[in-house]
Amino acid sequence: QSVLTQPPSVSAAPGQKVTISCSGSSSNIGHDYVSWYQQLPGTAPKLLIYDNNKRPSGIPDRFSGSQSGTSATLGITGLQTGDEAVYYCGTWDNSLSSYVFGTGTQVTVL
């Protein structure tokens, strides 16, 4: 069981916006930076957001991240069919001395 909780799925029509929440505690999200990873079907995860809200080179600004207290949020605007994937949050957990991933959220473009 993951210590970071995400909704199992979210969906929206092309061009719309979705947000994915990641709920943790003071020992993880409340203590360290959050990253977000995108996993397209049959492929390895890909870094989407790091340090709560920074985008690696090549990641479009349609993707954004934020953090407040013990929760983090990933936003995707201008939804495209190519965004259909599972999205995971991740951060260091100071109590577990371990990196932890969220439960994962399937994004479906209707």
Partner 1 sequence: QVQLVQSGAEVKKPGASVKVSCTASGYTFTSYDINWVRQATGQGLEWMGWIYSNSGNTNYVQKFKGRVTMTRDTATSTAYMELNGLRSEDTAVYYCARSGDYHMDVWGKGTAVTVSS
Residues that bind partner 1 (CB under 8 A): 2, 32-33, 35, 37, 39, 43-47, 50-51, 56, 88, 90-92, 96-104
Contact 1, 100 (CB under 8 A): no
| Shorter beta-carbon distance to partner 1: residue 16 or 95 | 95
Positive or negative, the CA dihedral 97, 67, 104, 86 is negative
Closer Cβ to partner 1, 63 or 88, answer by number:
88
CA distances 79 to 14, 23, 89, 98, 102, Å, are 5, 23, 19, 33, 22
CA gap 93, 62 in Å, rounded: 28
Q: Which is nearer to partner 1, 16 or 98 (CB)?
A: 98
CB of 88 to partner 1, least distance (A): 6
Both tokens of residue 53? 């809200």
Q: How far is the CB of 73 from partner 1 (least distance, A)?
A: 17
* Shortest distance in whole angstroms from residue 41 CB to partner 1: 12
